[in-house]
Amino acid sequence: MTMTKEWVSVFFASILTSNFVLARFLGICPFLGVSKQVRTASGMGLAVTFVMVLSTAVIYPVNLLLDRYHLEYLQTVVFILIIAALVQFVEIALKRYAKPLYRSLGIYLPLITTNCAVLGVVLINVRENYAFGTSMVSSLGAGIGFLLAMVIFAGVRQRMEECDIPKAFAGLPATLIAASIVSLSFLGFGGVVEKLFG
């Protein structure tokens, strides 16, 4: 497989068939918590995408050092510390340059630090032994997939507010049912990605 074909395959698989929220079930907390408005959901999705790509760029050479000195057992701790520092950077930048978005994200912005999707993407890149370019493509695809899932689900939730939902299903049950239906819709892309890039 050529490098370009591998990158395209990894990119589309990360967005559609291996979507971090809808297929791997990572990053569920912001997915359910911030997806009430499309604008807030897209802001959170962009912030997570930025952190995923930036953390991959920073963590890749750090991981090479850990491997070189046989310190692989420190990966998770070191990765979390790097992600936490990068999230602080994003938080400071949003507070300074995008105050409305910063206020609307509220508590969920610092929670990107503990968002398992961000840690998951770097750990999967390490586990799959991706080269730097493939890791970056994988992280960008994962971030775009996260953003896509957030925006689609925010649209679904806005529509749900206009519906007359039975009392037994109102609130969290209806939200989880809607999330499962959105998740099922992404499964339909499995054959397409395999056929085009498999």
Residue 116 banded pLDDT, cuts 50, 70, 90? confident
Q: Where does residue 166 rank: exposed (0-12), middle (13-18), buried (19+ CB within 10 A)?
A: exposed
The Cα 64–Cα 20 span in angstroms is 25
pLDDT at residue 28 is higher than 70: yes
Place of tokens 């994200």: 105
Q: Where does residue 107 rank: exposed (0-12), middle (13-18), buried (19+ CB within 10 A)?
A: exposed
pLDDT mean over 107-130: 85
pLDDT at 35: 67
The Cα 28–Cα 59 span in angstroms is 23
pLDDT tens for residues 33-65? 766 788 888 888 888 898 899 999 999 999 999
H or E element at residue 116: helix 116-127
pLDDT tens for residues 61-83? 999 999 999 999 999 999 999 99
| Cβ atoms of residues 141 and 56 within 8 Å | no
pTM for the model stands at 0.85
Tokens of 151: 């925006």
The Cα 48–Cα 127 span in angstroms is 21
Nearest to 123 by CA among 53, 56, 46: 56
**Mean residue pLDDT across the chain:** 86
pLDDT at residue 185 is higher than 60: yes
If one compares 83 and 190, the residue with the highest pLDDT of the two is 83
